[in-house]
Amino acid sequence: MTDPAAAAPGPLAGLVVADFSRVLAGPYCTMLLADLGATVIKVEGPAGDETRHWMPPAHEGEATYYLSVNRGKRAITLDFADADDLAAARALAARADVVVENFKPGGLDRFGLGYDTVRAANPGVVYVSITGFGPDSSLPGYDVLAQAVSGLMSVTGSADGPPSKAGVAIVDVVTGLHAGLGALAALRHRDATGEGQRVEVNLLSSALSALANQSGAFAVAGVVPGRLGNDHPSIYPYGPFPTAEGDLVLAIGNDAQFARLCGVLGIPDAAADARFARAAGRSAARGELRPVLESALAARPAAEWERLLGDAGVPCAPILDIGGAFDRAATLGLEPVVTSGPPHGSPGGMPGVRHPIALSATPASYPLAPPAPDADRAWVLGFLG
């Protein structure tokens, strides 16, 4: 049975993804695969994906949390305690090119849906397991726990304030990206050898990788970074500064940019000052440099400085809210909002955020809006024969 959603095939057209995941990391991964053309079948238990109930906010009675990460999928509700439903789940795993699951370690084994059992029936399967803290930990995989344990919270927030989490479940998002990358790498290996394999990702390892220079400081030099608020540990100025009206973020990454900044601000002596002329000196003397910059920036509002500094090639930006960010992306021609659907015969479609990867020959497409619970039971069972 062909998938009518594949009218505009993407680079992953023809791949079947069995999505046994829920909440964020797994669904985000599978949505990105769906945007690129994969046929994604979302399997939910009788209670449904938890995020269907996480509101406010809501859109027409549905949680925007769920809607934000589940477009492009077919949905079926399967109760593994029911013999027929369990048989359908096993048939789907046996048919799939990719299985994505984020049950507790070993949670699917008792249903005959663990990796070894699925691989026996489907040797080419790419089986992606997402856990919170690895296969040997039973600690639940909640993003805020990973932010806490990974050290992310320890470097987020003001220096004299408490640790803080990021404003989004960023570890879940990064883990979802790693899961998708792992799946594509395993599919490439399968194309070359015919062999499937297991792909394992976890929130903690993903967070440590995403901490990049901060975690690298410890791994390489044994340095334990601390909180610096909006400051950067190695670069200055690199963060928000007050102006006559509103804050402006400066991102000065080299000495030439600093010289241009000082020229536009009318403080050329600062660029020639031995304390500030080089990046390491600016970072060390930030307490002395900041009042010099703040005094100069107080002469004009942020919007005017953004124009003047931008014309001079000095990296800077205003601090926008989410609505302002969408407006800015639109003015830059990035078309941040797309419409998926219509959802299963309903008029219109569902707005959402554009897929972040632009492909010149096989662009992302959005044929299906996020599905209602069990919306595609007949289609899925027909697909499985």
d(CA 372, CA 376): 9
Matching CATH number, 4-211+334-383, of 3.40.190.10, 3.40.50.10540, 3.90.1150.10, 3.20.20.140: 3.40.50.10540
Give the residue numbers annotated as catalytic, written as ranges: 172
Cis amide linkage into residue 318, ω under 30° from 0? no
| CB 370, CB 70: distance < 8 Å | yes
For each of the chain's 385 residues, which pLDDT tens digit applies? Answer: 445 454 457 999 999 999 999 999 999 999 999 999 999 999 999 999 999 999 999 998 999 999 999 999 999 999 999 999 999 999 999 999 999 999 999 999 999 999 999 999 999 999 999 999 999 998 899 999 999 999 999 999 999 999 999 999 999 999 999 999 999 999 999 999 999 999 999 999 999 999 999 999 999 999 999 999 999 999 999 999 999 999 999 999 999 999 999 999 999 999 999 999 999 999 999 999 999 999 999 999 999 999 999 999 999 999 999 999 999 999 999 999 999 987 544 556 899 999 999 999 999 999 999 999 999 999 999 999 8
d(CA 385, CA 382): 5
SS (HEC) of the chain: CCCHHHHCCCCCCCCEEEEECCCCHHHHHHHHHHHCCCEEEEEECCCCCHHHHCCCCEECCEEHHHHCCCCCEEEEECCCCCHHHHHHHHHHHHHCCEEEECCCCCCCHHHCCCHHHHHHHCCCCEEEEEECCCCCCCCCCCHHHHHHHHCCHHHCCCCCCCCCCCCCCHHHHHHHHHHHHHHHHHHHHHHHHCCCEEEEEEHHHHHHHHCCHHHHHHHHHCCCCCCCCCCCCCCCCEEEEECCCCEEEEECCCHHHHHHHHHHHCCHHHHHCCCCCCHHHHHHCHHHHHHHHHHHHCCCCHHHHHHHHHHCCCCEEECCCHHHHHHHHHHCCCCCEEEECCCCCCCCCEEEECCCCCCCCCCCCCCCCCCCCCCCHHHHHHHCC
Q: How many CA atoms lie within 13 A of 326 on its CB side?
A: 9
The alpha carbon of residue 295 and the mean position of all alpha carbons in its chain are separated, in whole angstroms, by: 38
Mind listing the pLDDT tens digit for each residue in 85-104? 999 999 999 999 999 999 99
User: Between helices 203-210 and 170-193, what is the axis angle to 10°?
Assistant: 100
The alpha carbon of residue 262 and the mean position of all alpha carbons in its chain are separated, in whole angstroms, by: 36
Q: Tell me which residue of 20, 26, 18, 45 sits closest to 141, measured CA to CA.
A: 26
What are the domain boundaries of the chain? 4-211+334-383, 238-242+247-318
Position 343 scores a pLDDT of 54
User: Would you state the structure tokens that stand for residue 5, as one six-digit string?
Assistant: 């959603």
Task: Give the other-Cβ count within 10 Å of 233's Cβ.
Answer: 15
Give the residue carrying structure tokens 């699951």.
101
Q: Fold match between 4-211+334-383 and 238-242+247-318? A: no
- CATH topology for the 238-242+247-318 domain: formyl-coa transferase, domain 3 (3.30.1540)
Mind listing the pLDDT tens digit for each residue in 226-252? 999 999 999 999 999 999 999 999 999
Give the residue carrying structure tokens 């039973």.
138
**100: which strand partners?**
19, 128
